[in-house]
Amino acid sequence: MDPAISSILFYLFAAMALICACAVVFARNPVTSAMSMALCFAATAALLFGMGAQFLGIIQIIVYAGAILVLFLFVVMMLDIRTEEEDSSFSVFRSLIRMAPGALVAGVLSAMICIAAIKLPGAGDWQNPLCQVCDSMGELCIGQQEAAAAPQGQLPYGGALPRLNPEAAARVLNPAISDSEAAAATSIPDVKLLGQRLFSQYNIAFVILSFALLAGTVGAVALSRKIRKD
């Protein structure tokens, strides 16, 4: 797509995600909060789509918007919402006290992300294109290292925003690919890229995480199961 259009869409969906995230906190009705969160997830998925990571985007929708949030809604709906909405004892002081711990945690987390982003080599240089910053992130960007090895003279990225490069992705999947075939690659098979990295380089971490999840599931079942005496 045209880089200008994709940039406009990026900022549009980013703004939508931020506004919806704020609505989650500020809405009085818990169901409105949950629905804003769903919209926020959808906007995030749209951002991932825009960067060419279709698989990650669709997983965002299936897992978060389609399953986890529906369970949230399921529980929230069974609460007595009237009392929450008609809470007359609203005072600035009390709401500030309520929000303080959450704001603190969120602030620390976002500060950590900001520091990590600023400390990336080349990030302080305002004139430096984002793609070079992305390059130096190494493993965080699948296929970006290989993009640096792309033929000189042409920018190995689609636009001003950092994005995965189909040509580089094709080279990661098949190192023996010819130059013309790599150049003909139009879409990023990010399912294959992710699978390859997860099941080779990060296989041990992946398996350990799966076992942690399994243990959690078994624990939840064991805790919630009623043992009949009869």
Partner 1 sequence: MSLFDTIWNWCVDLLHNDIWFYLITTVVKLVLMFAVILAFVVLSVWIERRVAGWIQDRPGPNRAGIPLQLFQRFGSKEKQPLKDLLHFFGIPETCWIAKLCTWLRLDREIPTFGLMQPCLDGGKLFLKQELTPSYVRKVYFTIAPMLVLGPPMVAAAVIPFASSVSTQFGEINMVVANLAIGPLWIFAISGLSVYGLTLAGWSSNSKYPFLGGLRATAQLISYEVAMGLSIIPLLMVFSTLNMQDIVQYQADNGWTLLPLWGEGLSWQRWALMAPLALSFIIFVTCVFAEANRTPFDMAECETDLVGGYHSEYSSMKFASFFMGEYAAMVIGSALVVTLFLGGWSIGFGADAALHSVCSWLAVFCQFIMFLIKLVAFIFFFVWVRWTLPRFRWDQVMKLGWLVFLELAVANIFLTAAVLYFVK
DSSP 154: S
Read off the DSSP letter of residue 63.
I
Stretch that binds partner 1, among 71-79, 89-97, 124-132, 196-204 (CB under 8 A): 71-79
Residue 31 makes contact with partner 1 by CB under 8 A: yes
Q: How far is the CB of 100 from partner 1 (least distance, A)?
A: 31
Tell me whether residue 67 or residue 103 sits nearer to partner 1 (CB atom). 67
**Cβ-contact 48, 56 below 8 angstroms:** yes
First-residue to last-residue Cα distance in the chain: 66
Closest among 106, 41, 44, 47 to 69, alpha carbons compared: 41
Contact window for partner 1 (CB under 8 A) among 50-58, 92-100, 113-121, 137-145:
50-58
Output the CA torsion sign for 33, 35, 36, 40.
positive
User: Does residue 72 touch partner 1 according to CB under 8 A?
Assistant: no
Q: Which stretch binds partner 1 (CB under 8 A): 20-28, 70-78, 136-144, 209-217?
A: 70-78
Which residue from 66, 129, 130, 206 is in contact with partner 1, where contact means CB under 8 A?
Answer: 66
Identity of the residue, 23 or 137, whose beta carbon is nearer to partner 1 in the bound complex: 23
Q: Which of 6, 7, 54, 145 binds partner 1 (CB under 8 A)?
A: 54
Of 61, 142, 150, 164, the residue at the interface with partner 1 (CB under 8 A) is 61
Distance (Å, rounded) from C-alpha 150 to C-alpha 161? 18
CA pair distance 149, 166, nearest whole angstrom = 13
- How many binding residues for partner 1 (CB under 8 A)? 22
Beta carbon nearer to partner 1, 123 or 173: 173
Q: Is 184 a binder of partner 1 (CB under 8 A)? A: no
What is the rounded CA–CA span in Å between residue 133 and residue 169? 18
The b/e string for 69-89 (b: 16+ C-beta within 10 A; e otherwise) is beebbeebeeeeeeeeeeeee
Chain residues binding partner 1 by CB under 8 A are 31, 35, 38, 54-55, 58-59, 61-62, 65-67, 70-71, 73-74, 77-78, 187, 189-191
